[in-house]
Amino acid sequence: DADVTQTPRNRITKTGKRIMLECSQTKGHDRMYWYRQDPGLGLRLIYYSFDVKDINKGEISDGYSVSRQAQAKFSLSLESAIPNQTALYFCATSGGTGGGPAETQYFGPGTRLLVL
Amino acid sequence: KNEVEQSPQNLTAQEGEFITINCSYSVGISALHWLQQHPGGGIVSLFMLSSGKKKHGRLIATINIQEKHSSLHITASHPRDSAVYICAAERGSNYKLTFGKGTLLTVNP
């Protein structure tokens, strides 16, 4: 089984709808991240969480919110979806280094979101 | 100017060729990451390095901290190496990554 899973894998929604993307991990990592990927722009950080009680905005958080329900679960919500939120969304985790200076990130398979 | 720049954007090679992808960054880093994104979209981490060189199979990553430059080399390239290769800079101790835009590598048989 995959260590980092995302649901749904594909989603089509309409402008103005609220949707939630979910991420679960079995790696026991404290740190979790949400990214979006757009053609020609690369990956950009939306939100990140260093533990259940610590949630931080990334570089493009406007229009998004998150919830860290447990160490293993980190959800991303689009409160009112708009077409320019059409993108590929990735969840990632890192940890297990005892707070070392750098950590490998492990990515989920991604969610393709289309907002009409 | 982006903090992390990759070159080339696109690279086409014949099977067996030696491949080099370059990454330059403009900020101080705690580590430089190389990732591979498969055609189906999945992303895997290849290397994380803060100095010197690392090797895994046919893949070699090097970094020059003074010049703020890293390279990813693929020896004896194979069509299955076709993917997007992404470098990312990890700054300070906050584990956040700043990504380059990626290099699309196509290896033809």
Name chain A contacts of B101, Cβ cutoff 8 Å: 40-42
Between the alpha carbon of residue A27 and those of residues A94, A102, B48, B54, B79, the distances in Å are: 9, 17, 18, 24, 31
Mean pLDDT, to the nearest integer, of A12-34? 95
Polymer length of chain A: 116
Report the alpha-carbon distance of residue B98 to residue B109 in Å, rounded: 33
- The predicted pLDDT at position A10 comes to 96
CB atoms A101 and B31 under 8 Å: yes
CB atoms A43 and B99 under 8 Å: yes
Are the C-beta atoms of A109 and B42 separated by less than 8 Å?
yes
Residues A90-101 pLDDT 10s: 999 998 666 566
Structure confidence at residue B12 as a pLDDT band (50, 70, 90): very high
Mean pLDDT of all residues belonging to chain B:
92
Residues A42-83 pLDDT 10s: 899 999 999 889 999 999 999 999 999 999 999 999 999 999
Percent of chain B predicted with pLDDT > 70: 97
- The predicted pLDDT at position B6 comes to 96
Residues B85-99 pLDDT 10s: 999 998 876 778 899
Please state which of the ranges A18-22, A78-82, B27-31, B67-71 shows the lowest mean pLDDT: B27-31
Encoded tokens for A2: 């995959």
Residues B47-88 pLDDT 10s: 999 899 999 999 999 999 999 999 999 999 999 999 999 999
Q: Which of A32, A43, A59 to mutate to test the interface with B (most CBs of B within 10 A)?
A: A43
- The predicted pLDDT at position B93 comes to 66
CB atoms A107 and B101 under 8 Å: no
* CA atoms in the 13 A half-sphere facing the CB of B100: 31
Report the alpha-carbon distance of residue B20 to residue B73 in Å, rounded: 5
**Closest CA of chain B from A74, distance in Å:** 17
Taking the Cβ of residue A74 and every Cβ of chain B, the question of whether any pair is shorter than 8 Å is answered with no
Residue A71: count other Cβ atoms within 10 Å of its Cβ.
16
Mean pLDDT, to the nearest integer, of B26-31? 85
CB atoms B97 and A107 under 8 Å: no
The answer for residues whose C-beta is within 8 angstroms of residue B86's C-beta and 6 or more apart is A42, A43, B6, B34, B35, B36, B37, B43, B99, B100, B101, B102, B103
